[in-house]
Amino acid sequence: MFNDVWRYLLYFHAFVQQIFAPCKNREQLAVNSLDLHQFAGKWFFKAAVSPRDSDIFRFKMFDNIVFTLEDTSNTTLVMTGNMRMGDDCIKRNWTYHVQPGRDDLVLEGRPQRRNLLWSGMWANCRDCIVFQELEPPLKETDSEDSLNRFLLYSRQKDVDSEMLTTFLRDSACNGLTANVTLLHEKGFSSKVFHYVVFFKVNMYSDSFVFFQSFASRRESRSASTSC
């Protein structure tokens, strides 16, 4: 209910803002002209925005997410995600490549997906980056991309609420009115040692499809305890 009210308020604010002032310009970063080493290290997931809920709904299942980027070469980035879902921790890896003549990152196993980088000044944050995931329509007759979402990451675990408000407001001004922010009620996931999940990914909805899981050991954990 609160998310629906917040979304309508953002939409109304964006509508009024466009009447009196243009939307804030967003700066795309061409990855083939960047030093990938500057992105190495830890990044905290802060928010996701999209024109529609279906592209970002799966993020609602997580309490917090922290990513670690490693530049294994001048043209390769390996991203490790530690995701907290309830009392469980999930770990997953993605490998991205820079290819000549392209301004985006190419994700292994998803050649149809474009992965674009945008300046964190979109959120008025110098220690942030915005990561866009974009996939073409599933059918030639479709007019909309099958996936279009923007993910905000920060170098800092704790950020000013005004930064998030700026990101959501400016996103809504550009028609990205669906949004997700995480609760951060539990400790950040840093290890996966008590719960192992096997999953596959539905490449159309991009949602997790769990088909087997087991616990080597389950321990009761307080909300402030890390995985």
**Domains of the chain and any CATH numbers:** 2-214 (2.40.128.20)
**Higher per-residue confidence, 198 vs 44:** 44
pLDDT of residue 1: 56
pLDDT of residue 125: 96
Contact 186, 223 (CB under 8 A): yes
- Cα 157 from chain centre: 15
Average pLDDT over residues 201-217: 40
Confidence label for 24 from pLDDT (cuts 50, 70 and 90):
confident
Q: Give 127's DSSP letter.
A: T
What's the Cα-to-Cα distance from 188 to each of 24, 82, 113, 183, 184, rounded to whole Å?
A: 32, 8, 28, 11, 8
From CA 70, how far away is CA 198, in angstroms rounded? 23
Dihedral of the alpha carbons of 155, 156, 159, 163, in degrees to the nearest 10 = -10
In single-letter form, the type of residue at position 164 comes to L
Which tens digit of pLDDT belongs to each residue from 165-195?
999 999 999 999 999 999 888 877 555 433 3
Tokens of 123: 């959120």
**Higher per-residue confidence, 19 vs 42:** 42
pLDDT of residue 4: 57
pLDDT of residue 173: 94
Give me the percent of the chain exceeding a pLDDT of 90.
Answer: 65
Contact 56, 62 (CB under 8 A): no
**Higher per-residue confidence, 69 vs 142:** 69
In single-letter form, the type of residue at position 91 comes to K
pLDDT of residue 8: 53
Return the number of other C-beta atoms located less than 10 Å from residue 209's C-beta: 9
Confidence label for 23 from pLDDT (cuts 50, 70 and 90):
confident
- Does the structure show a pLDDT above 60 at 20? no
- Does the structure show a pLDDT above 90 at 206? no
Strand partners, 111: none
From CA 176, how far away is CA 51, in angstroms rounded? 4
Tokens of 46: 């802060």
- Does the structure show a pLDDT above 50 at 215? no
Average pLDDT over residues 13-34: 74
From CA 126, how far away is CA 119, in angstroms rounded? 8
Among the residue ranges 25-39, 80-94, 109-123, 209-223, the one predicted with the least confidence is 209-223
